[in-house]
Structure 1
Amino acid sequence: MLIGYARVLKSEVQDAVEQIDALNAAGCEKIFNETSTGGRWDRPQLKQMFDELRPEDVVVVTALDRIASSLGDLFGILDKIDNCGAYFQSLKEGTDTSGDSGRKLMQMVQSIGNFERAKLRTRTAEGQEAARARGNGGGQPPKLSPAQQREILDMLNAGRSAADLARLFRVHRATISRLAAKARRRDSVERINVH
């Protein structure tokens, strides 16, 4: 079955009528029409299409930018389509993953996708290492200063509740609970080392 996918961003002035007409002309029996906020994951019609996709189906779009917002996004979507045993076709670019040449195209796309992911992992690791070398361990800065943490632990030991302290210091209760658990672990290790 030929399944069409049309997408228009809310920031665009056009509507999906041209895309839908082109997909109907291409022989699509079902069309998923997405009005996207532009967010990569806020696409319920794409999700529904994947839920209904069956082996040998062909996902048809008018252009690659209608289904993907980046090269990485395109690789991920093509991979999902391939994992369903389905095929992909883009009318504007003449891309068609069915047949021998289509399988070779998918292998090439997957290889490029793997290369891009490996490159991203390498750059991320290098960035983290450089941050550690500068004395920055990465991640978000602590919500509470060391002085605030000591004060909270003292107040907990004096009988104040975690919920009360969370409101007082304007943090989530889980932050207080994690701090208390970390202090308990540290205290138990110190007791073990003393004996």
Structure 2
Amino acid sequence: MHRIGYARVSTSGQNLDSQVDALKAAGCTKIFSDKVSGVKEDRPGWNQVMEYLREGDTLIITELSRMSRSLAHLLKVVQELEGKGVKIESLRENINTTTATGRAFLSIMGAINQMERELRAERSAAGREAARARGRSGGRPKINQEKIKQAQSLFAAGYTVAEACKVVGIGKRTFFRHRSTAKGQGYLEGLEGDIR
């Protein structure tokens, strides 16, 4: 039964010292770390700590955000660790899954996450229903072909693609995707790579 620490900062320029000191003070016998954004899937230190943890161990972090990318991800990680028989302790939030209070807190967070998912689904369904009632369906809005023609005319008159698109209010990708004339198409295709 060991207390294992995990520390993370978002960039290589940030310092792990304060987290490492706090984890040592909390009795961690081994500490893994990452210098990488929490939104990235590939975190070498996290992968190592997950392989290292054994049943009966406690994973210590300074705060929950060091371990997870979102509430949904946090709950997934907690479930995975519980499946391995590993407890979690967060120093800042004072959450400890070895206690009834800590487990109850995470259960409440899980209920909130589920409620948020259901509310998002309800809002999406209501939005689609309202759009159908107005005679619209989902998907991308239709491009105004007149704007495309205006942008192409400006380009033909000597404007750069960026200038022409800015004047009529469309994106450069839209300009190339909807170019309608065969004349000069090879030239436009050459330009496409230059301006991105």
Give the shorter-chain TM-score range: 0.5 to 0.7
- The TM-score normalised by the length of structure 2 is 0.59
Q: Aligned pair in 2 of structure 1 residues 140, 56: CA closer, same or farther (>3 Å)?
A: farther
Deviations 1:95-131 (A, max 9, x none): 1110333332332232223223333333444455556
* In 2, Cα distance between equivalents of 1:117 and 1:5: 29
- Distance in 2 between residues matched to 1:32 and 1:74, nearest whole Å: 18
Report the AA paired with residue 109 of structure 2.
V
Q: Which residue of structure 2 lines up, in the alignment, with residue 47 of structure 1?
A: 47
Q: How many residues in Structure 1 have an aligned counterpart in Structure 2?
A: 150
**Distance (Å, rounded) in 2 between the aligned partners of 1:125 and 1:40:** 30
Which string of whole-angstrom CA distances, capped at 9 and with x for unpartnered residues, describes residues 17-42 of structure 1? 11111111111122110111353423
Q: Distance in 2 between matches of 1:80 and 1:139?
A: 38
Residue 6 of structure 1 is matched in structure 2 by 7
- For 2:22 and 2:72, the matched residues in 1 are separated by 26
Q: Residues 64 and 90 of structure 1 are in contact (CA less than 8 Å); yes or no, is this contact kept in structure 2? A: yes
User: What displacement does 1:52 show?
Assistant: 3.0
Unaligned runs of 5+ in 1: 148-195
Once residues 7 and 48 of structure 2 are traced to their aligned partners in structure 1, the CA distance between those partners, rounded to angstroms, is 13
Structure 1 128/92 Cα, relative in aligned 2: closer, same or farther at 3 Å?
same
Return the alpha-carbon distance in structure 1 between the equivalents of residues 36 and 77 of structure 2. Answer: 16
Partner of 2:191: none
Over the residues paired in the alignment, what is the CA RMSD in angstroms?
3.5
Query: Per the alignment, do residues 85 and 124 of structure 1 end up closer, same or farther by CA in structure 2, a change over 3 Å counting?
Result: farther
Residue 108 to residue 61, structure 1, CA distance change in 2 (3 Å): same
The percentage of counterpart residues that share the same residue type is: 38
**What are structure 2's unaligned runs of at least 5 residues?**
143-176, 181-196
Amino acid at match of 1:5: Y
C-alpha contact 1:2 1:59 (8 A) present in aligned 2: yes
Q: Is the 8 A contact 1:132 1:138 kept in 2?
A: no
2:155 matched to which residue of 1?
Answer: none
Q: Decide whether aligned partners of structure 1 residues 133 and 108 sit closer, same or farther in structure 2, where only a CA change above 3 A counts.
A: same
